Amino acid sequence: MTVHIGAKPGEIAETVLMPGDPYRARWAAQTFLKDAVLVNEVRGMLGYTGTWNGHRVTIHGSGMGMPSLSIYANELIRDYGAKTLIRIGSAGALPEHVKVRDVILAQTCSTLGSPSRAIFRELNFAPCADFGLLSKAHAAAIAKGTPTHVGGIYSSDTFYDERPDLWKELTRHGCLGVEMEAAELYMVAARHGARALAILTVSDHIATGEALPSDQRERSFGAMVEIALEAAFA
């Protein structure tokens, strides 16, 4: 066990799906995994391990923001041997052609700063997704008929960001959406030689103000979980 993860050796699978919300981790494990077992609940951050189509999978919460995700991603890779980490979360869309309920596959992630920023000093390191995971996720999404967009996103560590000029510039440069964790996930994975991908369901739209009601979010997020599982084991 580690400071933040109470799982015993061997209880974490090599493939880990990481929603931000620990209760969404529980929902996804109970919905998609067979024989899911609770392996972590330290500080209320739930993690479950089970199987999907015979493959061992862990679904573990990451918390909100890059500092929280960095803790779990580092420990999962370094101490438990995780080799594939897929973020399954929500995002706010920026351009008009990206709609609520669509899925975004984050090819690259821009950010103003993350816990890894100090390592690079003056270098503006550009983290990107694992191409194998990205291509398989795209194929799975197309096969399911899920409206899907591939491209760059922005990972913010500020939820209540009051910079409309930033949204304007991000949109002008083709950024598809905004979330809070993926850039650090990609950096940690790159540092440790792991595979990483962020698959994001659009829950709201920055420009239009449209948002999914809370009771519809889980139903809309199901396609994202299926895409993640198929990408990991295709």
Would you tell me the crossing angle of helices 214-233 and 22-32 to the nearest 10 degrees?
60
- 230 has binding-site annotation: no
Interval 106-164: pLDDT, tens:
999 999 988 898 898 888 898 899 999 999 999 999 999 999 999 999 999 898 888 88
Interval 160-216: pLDDT, tens:
888 889 999 999 999 999 999 999 999 999 999 999 999 999 999 999 999 998 777
- 88 has binding-site annotation: yes
Judged against a pLDDT cut of 80, whether residue 220 lies above it is answered with no
Closest CA to 228 of 86, 30, 102: 86
- 68 has binding-site annotation: no
- 87 has binding-site annotation: yes
For the chain, what's the residue count? 234
Catalytic annotation, residues: 204
> Are residues 90 and 106 in contact, defined by beta-carbon separation less than 8 angstroms?
no
> Are residues 77 and 194 in contact, defined by beta-carbon separation less than 8 angstroms?
yes
Mean pLDDT within 57-65: 97
Domain residue spans in the chain? Answer: 15-233
pTM (two decimals): 0.96
For domain 15-233, the CATH class is alpha beta
